[in-house]
Chain A
Amino acid sequence: GQNIDQPTEMTATEGAIVQINCTYQTSGFNGLFWYQQHAGEAPTFLSYNVLDGLEEKGRFSSFLSRSKGYSYLLLKELQMKDSASYLCASLDSNYQLIWGAGTKLIIKP
Chain B
Amino acid sequence: DGGITQSPKYLFRKEGQNVTLSCEQNLNHDAMYWYRQDPGQGLRLIYYSQIVNDFQKGDIAEGYSVSREKKESFPLTVTSAQKNPTAFYLCASSIGAENSPLHFGNGTRLTVT
Contacts and interface: CB of A to CB of B under 8 A. Distances in A.
Interface of A: 4, 8, 30-31, 33, 35, 40-45, 48, 50, 87, 89, 91, 95-102
A90 to B, nearest CB: 10
- DSSP class of B's interface residues: helix, strand, loop or mixed? loop
Interface stretch (B62-70, B78-86, B102-110): B102-110
Contact of B105 (A30, A31, A42, A96): A42
Interface string B20-44: 0000000000000000000011111
Contacts, number: 50
A34 to B, nearest CB: 10
B55 to A, nearest CB: 15
B104 A91 contact: no
Contact of B104 (A43, A99, A100): A43
Interface of B: 4, 40-45, 90, 98-99, 101-107, 109
Given A41-B106, A41-B107, A42-B90, A48 B101 contact: yes
